[in-house]
Structure 1
Amino acid sequence: MRISHLSLAVAACGAAALAALVIYTVFMRWVVGQTPNWAEELPRLVLIWTALLGSVTCTYQRSHLNAGLLPLIVRSINVRRVINKATDIVLLVMLLVLAKAGWDLAVLTMSMTTTALKMPVGVIYLSVPVGCVGMALMQVQHVLSPGDSL
């Protein structure tokens, strides 16, 4: 799905930017002796957005960490399919609830500003509904798909 590819590309750019920011900050702190005033906030912001956007691709590929115990406990393929569909539906509902809560928090904190960057705090919290809606779209695709990876 295009959303998955787009989120992966943005997350990859975010990871590269995070590495560059950390290297620059360490250089400035230990070689030059002057730490940038944004050294704490900007890498944290990039990390949060990168992790939540990367999770969209993980949801699409079903590559999130799981124990893989279901096939050992439930032998019937049909029962496993039903359990997987039920799990997909529960995850979809929880992602939508989390997206709503994240949206509410982002709206609530949009008038506050961060200390160093002087940007709205809500921009940081906005990563939660954006990431959760992306993951929810991937879950909708899993729920509607006829075949499951067992």
Structure 2
Amino acid sequence: MAAVGAAALAALVIYTVFMRWVVGQTPSWAEELPRLVLIWTALLGSVTCTHRCSHLNAGLLPLIVRSTDVRRTIGRATDIVLLVMLLVLAKAGWDLTLLTMSMTTTALKMPVGFLYLSVPVGCVGMALMQLQHVLSPGDSQ
């Protein structure tokens, strides 16, 4: 889904640039729709990154802590903290979604809450992946 979103974003931007510079008419949705696609794509893609543990990290822990048992414990604690933080963020995102559902965007005339809905959806997806990491018997990270 994230790859489809990235392709759609690229197509939207190319179309907008073409319309603006070649035709001389910018579509009314040129600002809102690519932003909406970008936000949803980023948050849905982050679920896959969380599942694969491919998110950016400094990789300094193995240089500082030599013991694999201590690294495993720190990784497990990190997974638990991330799980809690993602659930808190999902709740806040859901509250914001409900609060803004009655507002509409300027160009697309769609509920603003649909944009903010990406936060709880993405965070719940990432939280499920973190829960899988916490419950897995092997190495955490």
Alignment TM-score > 0.5, same fold:
yes
Task: From 124, 133, 136, give the equivalent of 1:145.
Answer: 136
**Structure 2 unpaired stretches of 5+:** none
The offset of 1:55, in angstroms, is 0.1
1:15 alignment partner AA: A
* Residue equivalent to 1:29: 20
Task: Give, in whole Å, the separation in 1 of the partners of 2:96 and 2:4.
Answer: 26
Show structure 1 runs of 4+ deviating over 3 A.
Answer: none
In the alignment of these two chains, the number of paired residues is 141
2:22 alignment partner AA: V
Task: Give, in whole Å, the separation in 2 of the partners of 1:59 and 1:149.
Answer: 12
* Residue equivalent to 1:129: 120
Task: Give, in whole Å, the separation in 1 of the partners of 2:96 and 2:3.
Answer: 26
Q: Percent identity?
A: 88
1:109 has 2:100 as partner: yes
**Structure 1 unpaired stretches of 5+:** 1-9
* Residue equivalent to 2:48: 57
Task: Note the aligned Cα RMSD (angstroms).
Answer: 0.7
Task: Give, in whole Å, the separation in 2 of the partners of 1:147 and 1:84.
Answer: 11
The offset of 1:148, in angstroms, is 1.2
* Residue equivalent to 2:70: 79
Task: From 68, 74, 79, give the equivalent of 1:88.
Answer: 79
Q: Is the 8 A contact 2:134 2:140 kept in 1?
A: no
